[in-house]
């Protein structure tokens, strides 16, 4: 019943890099809309990519952070921010937003899997582990929106996002309890969260609204 | 001179639950006003209820968090959020806001007592312990307001709130220095903070304004 | 190649106090503009002065915080906030903002030096250590702006601020690698960051804008 440890095979590394870049790009888009300067762009890109995992690690009291162990990524992130600033124009924004939806869903799935798995490893109960997965997957975007002075999109755009991560996290909990092999648990978790997100995008499904103004 | 440890008697558990629910409800009200979706509601309810204590624990490097040790509360919180969404309407908002003023004052008192007491236990000097009590009691609401994209009410509504907690915290410091029994220190601290808050609500007392525009 | 430890000589203490006061004053100015009450003023002053260093210490898992070890500063901060509220009027705001530019640049330099140096001591790689210096020097202001419900000035005023700290941090990394004596490394780092900031203020240099609207 030992929870799976994420190993970096070449395939997985490729997938992880794609997902992290998608998260960073979502930060760059938000920063562009807010006319941030180059420093602000690097910060929102970094917060979007690493903020969720870092917050999870602070809560779990885990060190070193991903971006401390793999400090090269910080350079990649800066290069990405400079590149975006040099080459991205207004007409690219909507395009990029559409293009990153799928890698972003991938990131949602992978970060859910890694966050939930790490929390289970640290001995957290199921609901807490799932929450840690959700935090890993969504709080990068939340911090991005707070810095950009917006209500976090994850909390008020009425599209399922954190919810997909929440459901995916329970897949991880179930498979670890069933002593499934790590690669199976991770794949299943990531797949469920990603497909749910994809389904939500595809069908335009919205969360039921709070009909606070009466019937 | 050992600072008191909070024990959960039945009475105290009831009081604590009431206070935490009041904090969670204050988050739900703020979320309702901002038209958050169900995910956002759960998050602001959770931040309001547990955010202050969690920030205190991160600062004091204390683990496990309350909501990790008592993970059942997370389910209760979600149930509360769903219930509010199903049954609460616009005409309920002002009503609820009025109804939770007193349990909220209770929470202010209790969280001040537990925060200050835990910080003294951890060997913090008086002023730091009092600050930790204030953080425990007020930063849930501060995080709630930051997520809702508002200036925190505790900082600009010119009503005494954190101040009541600040005064209450010094009662705890004094009683611990006087080697008072734990139950007495906790009761006195909570009572002073709560009554001060009640008095402020009753009399409509406002903090003196900064007459920045001249005399 | 042991990184330098910051010692408090009288001169350095004076310089450090001046810089911290400048940071606290920048918080008070922001709070005044937002009409915060006295509690909010103390909080933004405290966040501006100690927020960056505290966030760095949480990330590096370092304890005790500066304001726990030197709890007297908390009293000084409150006194400063009360004094500002009593004596500062609208016509003083622009004046103070101008007057604190130089001590603020000094703080930028010193906090960069101390943050980078502490991170190197903790065994962080160069780029991470430099980032920790930047966080120490700028995130007080970032937290101040988030609480005041503004996009952080460091990210969107297009004036070099974090950038000066970033360049300064590399001076520290280089000098530690060259086994320079601590006082030299600290002085050089602080001087470079401060002079760059001064130069930027003097010449009105702005960061290149993202020409997102096309050529």
pLDDT band at A98 (very low <50, low <70, confident <90, very high): confident
What is the percentage of chain A residues whose pLDDT exceeds 70? Answer: 93
How close A126 gets to chain C, by Cα (Å)? Answer: 26
CB nearest C149 (choices: B61, B149, B162) = B149
Q: Is the pLDDT of residue C1 over 70?
A: no
For residue C209, give how far its alpha carbon lies from the nearest alpha carbon of chain A (Å): 6
d(CA A81, CA A31): 10
Mapping DSSP to helix (H, G, I), strand (E, B) and coil, where does residue B38 land?
helix
Mutation for testing the A interface, residue in C132, C151, C166, C206 having most A CBs under 10 Å: C151
Retrieve residue B34's tokens: 């901002």
Extract the tokens encoding B208.
């003196």
SS3 category, C212: coil
Say yes or no to pLDDT of C211 above 80.
no
Looking at residue C9, its pLDDT comes to: 65
Its ipTM equals 0.89
Q: How far apart are CA A148 and CA C152, in angstroms?
A: 8
Contact C24, C51 (CB under 8 A): no
Residues B140-187 have pLDDT tens digits of: 999 999 999 999 999 988 899 999 999 999 999 999 999 999 889 999
- Taking an 8 Å cut-off on Cβ atoms, the answer to whether B37 and A149 are in contact is no
- Cβ contact (<8 Å) for B213 and C89? yes
Tokens representing B97 are 């806001």
Subunit contact B37:A128, Cβ cutoff 8 A: no
**pLDDT greater than 50 at residue A215:** no
Chain C residues close to A37, C-beta within 8 Å: 155-158, 207, 209-210
Residue A2 pLDDT level (bands cut at 50, 70, 90): low
The tokens describing C182, both together, are: 């601590």
Cβ contact B156–C37 (<8 Å): yes
Q: What percent of chain C has pLDDT over 90?
A: 68
- Mark out chain A residues that contact chain B at CB-CB < 8 A: 58-59, 61, 124-128, 131, 142, 146, 149-152, 154-158, 161-163, 207-214
Question: Which partners does chain B have (≥3 C-beta pairs < 8 Å)?
Answer: A, C
- What radius of gyration do chain A's Cα atoms show? 17
Predicted confidence at residue A6, as pLDDT, reads 52
Q: What is the 3-state secondary structure (H, E, C) of chain A?
A: CCCCCCCCCHHHHHHHHHHHHHHHHHHHHHHHHCCCCHHHHHHHHHHHHHHHHHHHHHHHCCCCCHHHHCCHHHHHHHHHHHHHHHHCCHHHHHHHHHHCHHHHHHHHHHHHHHHHHHHHHCCCCHHHHHHHHHHHHHHHHHHHHHHCCCCCHHHHCCCCCHHHHHHHHHHHHHHHHCCCCHHHHHHHHHHHHHHHHHHHHHHCCCCCCCCCCCC
Question: What are the pLDDT digits (tens) for A162-180?
Answer: 999 999 999 999 999 999 9
Closest chain A residue to the Cα of B145, Cα to Cα: A151
Tokens of C190: 């602080």
* CB contacts, 8 Å: A125 with chain B: 68, 71
Contact across the interface for B156 and C41, Cβ inside 8 Å: no
Q: Counting beta carbons within 10 angstroms of the beta carbon of residue C128, is it exposed (0 to 12), middle (13 to 18) or buried (19 or more)?
A: buried
Q: Grade residue B111 by pLDDT with cuts at 50, 70 and 90.
A: very high
Determine the residue among B55, B152, B156, B209 to mutate to test chain C binding: the one whose Cβ has the most chain C Cβ atoms within 10 Å: B156
* Whether B91 and A157 lie within 8 Å, measured CB to CB: no
Contacts of A68 in chain C (CB under 8 A): 124-125, 128
CB atoms C148 and B151 under 8 Å: yes
User: What are A15-67's pLDDT values in tens digits?
Assistant: 778 888 889 999 999 998 888 999 999 999 999 999 999 999 999 999 999 99
* Percent of chain A's residues with pLDDT above 90: 68
Q: Do A32 and C128 touch (CB under 8 A)?
A: no
Integer angstrom CA distances of residue A63 from A57, B41, B176: 7, 31, 35
pLDDT of residue C215: 46
| C205 close to C26: Cβ distance less than 8 angstroms | no
Residue B214: is its pLDDT beyond 60? no
Comparison of pLDDT for C12 and A47, the residue scoring more: A47
Token readout for A5 is: 């440890």
| pLDDT at residue A79 greater than cutoff 60 | yes
The answer to whether C153 and C68 have CB atoms below 8 angstroms apart is: no
- Tell me which residue of B39, C7, B33 sits closest to A167, measured CA to CA: B39
Handedness of CA C66, C97, C78, A147 (dihedral sign): negative
Give the pLDDT of residue C95: 82
User: How much of chain B, in percent, has pLDDT values that exceed 90?
Assistant: 67
CB contact under 8 A, B37 and A131: no
Nearest to C39 by CA among B208, B20, A127: B208
């Amino acid at each position: 019943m030992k929870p799976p440890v994420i190993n970096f095979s070449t395939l997985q590394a490729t997938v992880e890099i794609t997902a992290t870049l998608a998260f960073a790009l979502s930060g760059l888009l938000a920063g562009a809309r807010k006319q941030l300067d180059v420093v602000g762009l690097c910060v929102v890109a970094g917060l979007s990519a690493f903020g969720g995992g870092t917050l999870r690690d602070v809560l779990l009291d885990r060190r070193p952070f991903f971006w401390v162990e793999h400090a090269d990524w910080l350079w990649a992130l800066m290069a990405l921010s400079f590149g975006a600033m040099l080459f991205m124009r207004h007409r690219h924004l909507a395009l990029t937003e559409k293009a990153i939806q799928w890698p972003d869903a991938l990131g949602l799935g992978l970060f859910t899997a890694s966050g939930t798995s790490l929390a289970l490893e640290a001995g957290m109960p199921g609901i807490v582990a799932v929450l840690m997965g959700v935090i890993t997957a969504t709080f990068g975007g939340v911090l991005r929106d707070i810095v950009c002075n917006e209500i976090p999109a994850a909390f008020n755009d009425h599209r399922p996002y954190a919810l997909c991560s929440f459901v995916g996290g329970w897949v991880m909990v179930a498979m670890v309890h069933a002593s499934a092999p790590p690669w199976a648990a991770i794949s299943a978790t990531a797949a469920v969260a990603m497909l749910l997100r994809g389904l939500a995008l595809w069908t335009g499904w919205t969360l039921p609204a709070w009909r606070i103004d009466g019937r």
